[in-house]
Every structure is written in C-alpha cells, then in structure tokens.
Amino acid sequence: MRVLVTGGTGTVGSEVVKALLARGAEVRVLTRDPAKARLPEGVTAVEGNLLDIPTLRRVFTDVDGVFLLNAVSPTESQEALLAISAMRGSAVRHLVYLSVHQVDGAPWLPHFGAKVGIEAAVKASGIAYTILRPDNFFQNDVWYKDVLLQYGIYPQPLGDVGTSRVDVRDIGEAAAIAFTQSGHAGQTYDLVGPEVATGASTAAAWSEALGRPIAYGGNDLDQWEQQALTMLPDWMAFDFRHMYAHFQEKGLRASPDAVARLTTLLGHPPRAFGAFAAECAAAWKA
C-alpha cells in the first residue's frame, strides 16, 4: 500500500510515518519544504502546499491511502476541504483523518469547529474513511521543558476535571493499523490515554519523574494568555485560551469503554503518562 502522509514532518505525522514503515507500507510525505524535512530512509518527500491547487491536482493521483492532518491555522478548514475535494475521484481508496477528542462538545472553538465540518466532509466524500479523535498529547509537555527544569512549574492549564491525554506514538500506530488491516473503514476511534490527568496530577507525575518538586501553574487563564502571547499569534492564544476554559469546565475524559476499544485496536493498552515523563527525564538528564 502506498500512503501519502500530510503533516508527516510534524509531531503526529512523523509517528504515523514510522508506524506505516514498520508495517511495510510505501510512504510519501507532503511538505512545503523538502530541504528542511528530516525523513526516515525510504520515505519520499513530496513538495506541496494544501492551499495550492496545482499541488492538490498532482499529489493524490497515484496513492492508495492518505493520512490527512491539518495544522491549527486560520485556513484549517480550507486546506482540508480542498484536499477532500481533490481526493474524490482520485486513486485514493482510504482516508484516515486526524480530528480531536469530543470535537462536538465545543464546536465554537475555531480548531474544534473546523474539524466538525471536516469530519462531515470526510463522511460524505464517498471515500472509505477512518477518523481518529485524539485527546491532548503527552508530547505537548516537551514545549514546557525549560519551565519545568528552570522554574519547577507545570504551566499547561488543564484544570481540575481531567483529560485523558494520549501519547502520539499510539496515534501513529492506530493510523497505520487502520490503513494496513481490514475492518476499520467507517470507524471513528477515540485516541486516549489510560488515565484521567488534571493539572495537579500532571505536575505530580513530573515531580516523580524528575525527582524534584514541580508545582501546578494554576487555572488563571488571563495570566496564561498574557504569557502565551509572548510566543503565539493572537488568534492561536485566543483559541487555546477558550479551549482550556472548556477543559477546566467540562474536561476531556474518556470512558472505560473507549480505553478498552483502543486497547483492542492497538493490541496493547495505551501508553501511560508516567512512562513518557520518565523517558523525557532520562533524555533531558543525558
């Protein structure tokens, strides 16, 4: 099977690429800049941009599968809908789309609402599809390495209700399984971790892994947004601020049935946060 991975140079897509290679697929990665893309041996970089019509006319003509991931951006819907339009009537037989956990619970959030519409387009496309709905990624915490190590603070304002955070390696495996095994067309899977994490419990897990006290930065979103605006564009800080308000109010918690279903799909329980934090702590120490 030949699969084109969009977002294949990023956090999730790079794990999808590895998992597809491990299952014997031929892999192509769409990237805006092949010179910068660091891809595993045997993977072909395909230069292109999902907002560029000649790209869309060209890249779906000779692949069997597409992993569709759209970065959080003001043009997220446009990129996805153009791609789905281009895939219809092409060679593509299976589309695996990366959405977000409980996307219908907060459709006012720009990067959730975009995915509500995109999921509808995926389902109506006539192409066999699998939708993956991941929770907050463990790997987001790599952004906080310096704050953890220098200030002893865990700053992601996850709140006190709890989210079922997930390791992106499980997302990569699930995507590769959906492409390479039968029975996953028409399915939607929640990509979630085995535990429900709050801000405080995540700080405690980092204390354990790093062997030093780590305090939770707290739920103050005005303060978080001011800090975020030093690093993120205002539209993104605004979107994420409202996402964290939603997490603080409602959480993003998986049911035991969803965890059991994912365990069956992967053939093992989803990875646990403590193991991820311990791996990071060892790598950062080295």
Ligand X SMILES: NC(=O)c1ccc[n+]([C@@H]2O[C@H](COP(=O)([O-])OP(=O)(O)OC[C@H]3O[C@@H](n4cnc5c(N)ncnc54)[C@H](OP(=O)(O)O)[C@@H]3O)[C@@H](O)[C@H]2O)c1
How many whole angstroms separate alpha carbon 111 and alpha carbon 100? 9
213 versus 235: smaller Cβ distance to ligand X: 235
From the CB of residue 106, how many other CB atoms can be counted at a distance below 10 Å?
20
Query: How many whole angstroms separate alpha carbon 102 and alpha carbon 258?
Result: 12
Q: Measured from the CB atom, is 137 or 144 closer to ligand X?
A: 137
Find the shortest distance in angstroms from Cβ 150 to ligand X: 23
50 belongs to the binding site for ligand X (CB under 6 A): yes
**Is residue 85 a contact point for ligand X (CB under 6 A)?**
no
Site string for ligand X, 98-137 (x = CB under 6 A): x-x----------x----------------------x-xx
From 44, 61, 85, 140, residue interacting with ligand X (rule: CB under 6 A): 140
Q: Is residue 37 involved in binding ligand X (CB under 6 A)?
A: yes
Residues contacting ligand X: total by CB under 6 A: 28
Q: What does the alpha-carbon distance between residue 85 and residue 57 come to, in Å, rounded to a whole number? A: 10
- Is residue 155 at the binding interface for ligand X, with CB under 6 A as the rule? no
CB 209, CB 273: distance < 8 Å: no
d(CA 125, CA 180): 21
Question: What separation in angstroms does the CA of 75 have from each of 41, 110, 284?
Answer: 31, 10, 35
Taking the least distance from each CB to ligand X, the nearer of 19 and 50 is 50
Which residue reads 């005005």 in tokens? 222
Asked whether position 71 contacts ligand X by CB under 6 A, the answer is yes
Q: In whole angstroms, what is the distance from residue 28 CA to residue 12 CA?
A: 15
* 283 is a contact residue toward ligand X (CB under 6 A): no
Residues interacting with ligand X, by CB under 6 A? Answer: 6-13, 30-33, 37, 49-51, 69-72, 79, 98, 100, 111, 134, 136-137, 140
